[in-house]
Amino acid sequence: MLTKRIIPCLDIKNGRTVKGVNFVNLIDAGDPVVLAKQYAELGADELVFLDISATLEGRKTMREMVLKVAEQVNIPFTVGGGISSIEDVDVLLKCGADKVSINSSAIKRPQLVNELAEKFGSQCVVVAIDAKQIEGEWFVHLAGGTISTELNLFEWAKEVEARGAGEILFTSMNNDGTKAGFANEALAKLSTELNIPIIASGGAGTVQHFIDTFTIGKSDAALAASVFHFGEIPILELKKELKENNIQVRL
Amino acid sequence: MKLVIIDYGAGNIKSIQFAFKRLGVDAVLSNNIDEIKAADKVIFPGVGEASSAMKMLRESRLDTVIPTLKQPVLGICLGMQLMCKHSEEGNTDGLGIFNVDVKKFSKAVKVPQMGWNVIYDLKSDLFTGIKDKEFMYLVHSFYAENCAEAIATTDYEIEYASALQKDNFYGVQFHPEKSGVEGSRILENFLNL
């Protein structure tokens, strides 16, 4: 049986790991390559690296980091942040990334999803969606959650699936950084209405939150950062508890 | 040991190359027919779409070369699927090494299957030291049907062949290069064949 995945996310700025709390106040949490290797050994199923560098120099550093991660890490990883063209993706895949995640660039030019799926295959195209629930309705945001759009989360998710996305990484901006649990109602709706895997992101604080997102939220994978980076939830213990709760995991 | 990874423009071959480097073997990337024929072991990778990958193979004449190779050949992911008779993906004929067709998963399950699933009914030296129901990393929307040439089986909606073997030809649907220490063990086993 296909297992549920636990995915530590490493936000990278100029080659270093950082984690935003509600997308501001960045705290340093280590060297990405060392962290990645450690996570692979500790039982992480997959890794996500999000490049939040804003400069060309930062992007170059990111490529070097991807190459080093691919060289040393024996589990799959996704790279996202600032990817806006076929060329960007080509370079990252050639450096050894398994998947790329696109966000703002897909909103600005949805056809990019089709082009990437056609050229590289759906399996490596993750569409990341940041959304915020405002008066009951979920609105998609771009540029790291700083700009709101008129797009509805569910309509946008269905559109990118139709365009060839292989997976959705949904971050609830209402939950992100709160450590109060994932946005399970929206996640369950996404998982039911779409036929591609859904990664839950934003709100992980306790083991119970992971149990809930796999059961109530019907998520296929759960992503978190600070609870892993600062050792608040050891991955192995988390997976053991998930298994005790009849959730299939790789142990 | 001369290990060649066939480089025909399809997919993420860097991680396969790195995985062998971690085992202390420098794999050469090549689309040169003489170099491929002269190798001790050959890796046939592939990620992407079947009919366009077959087109690339035909353009470089590799479609006629690969089935005639005598040394151990390991197809990975799409590489394995292309070694089959026919694929529903782009409705293309494959290399016909394995006597089995490649079909698409139905909508009863999420497609692609993405993540870690177990392989069982292991029947080859490729799996020496690998326990039954070991986890492997898989990403695919199409699968080879269970058949006489299956050397490993996986369950996702149905039981399908997650590894195949015929004579010197091996194929794995999963990504051993991305499947942790156990995946690495399979690559090592291949080197020791």
* Mean pLDDT rounded to a whole number for chain A: 90
A29 or A192, which is more confident = A192
Under the banding of pLDDT at 50, 70 and 90, the label for residue A197 is very high
Task: Note the pLDDT tens digit of each residue in A118-166.
Answer: 888 889 999 999 999 999 999 999 877 788 899 999 999 999 999 999 9
Task: With CB atoms and an 8 Å threshold, state whether B135 touches A96.
Answer: no
Identify which of B21, B156, B177 has the shortest CB distance to residue A2. B156
> What residues in chain A have their Cβ under 8 A from chain B's Cβ atoms?
1-5, 40, 45-46, 67, 70-72, 74-76, 93-98, 118-124, 166-167, 195-197, 220-221, 250
Predicted pLDDT of residue B87: 95
Identify which of A5, A76, A195 has the shortest CB distance to residue B111. A195
- Segments of chain B with pLDDT less than 70: 10-11
The shortest C-alpha distance from A76 to chain B (Å) reads 6
Q: DSSP assignment of A51-100, as one string?
A: E---SHHHHHHHHHHHHHHHHH--S-EEEESS--SHHHHHHHHHTT-SEE
Residues of A in contact with B110 (CB under 8 A): 195-197, 220
Task: With CB atoms and an 8 Å threshold, state whether B14 touches A96.
Answer: yes
Task: Note the pLDDT tens digit of each residue in A233-251.
Answer: 999 999 999 999 999 999 9
Mean pLDDT of A16-25: 53
The shortest C-alpha distance from B99 to chain A (Å) reads 25
Regarding an ipTM greater than 0.95, the answer is no
Predicted pLDDT of residue B10: 63
Tokens of A34: 């060392």
Predicted pLDDT of residue B138: 96
Predicted pLDDT of residue A38: 86
Question: Does any CB of chain A come closer than 8 Å to the CB of residue B131?
Answer: no
Predicted pLDDT of residue A19: 58
Q: What is the reported pTM?
A: 0.93
Under the banding of pLDDT at 50, 70 and 90, the label for residue A24 is very low
- β-pairing, A167-172 with A125-134? parallel
Size of interface A-B (CB pairs under 8 A): 94
Predicted pLDDT of residue A29: 52
Note whether B152 and B161 are within 8 A (CB): yes
What is the spatial distance between Cα A54 and Cα A30, in angstroms, rounded to a whole number? 19
Mean pLDDT of A192-211: 97
Predicted pLDDT of residue A22: 36
Q: Looking at residue B164, what DSSP letter applies?
A: E
Predicted pLDDT of residue B11: 64
Of A13-22, A61-70, A170-179, B144-153, which gets the smallest average pLDDT?
A: A13-22
Under the banding of pLDDT at 50, 70 and 90, the label for residue A5 is very high
Q: Which long-range contacts (CB under 8 A, 24 or more apart) does A137-146 make?
A: A138/A186, A140/A107, A141/A173, A142/A103, A142/A104, A142/A107, A142/A108, A143/A104, A144/A23, A144/A52, A145/A23, A145/A171, A145/A173, A145/A176, A146/A23
Predicted pLDDT of residue B9: 76
**Catalytic annotation present for B147:** no
* Mean pLDDT rounded to a whole number for chain B: 95
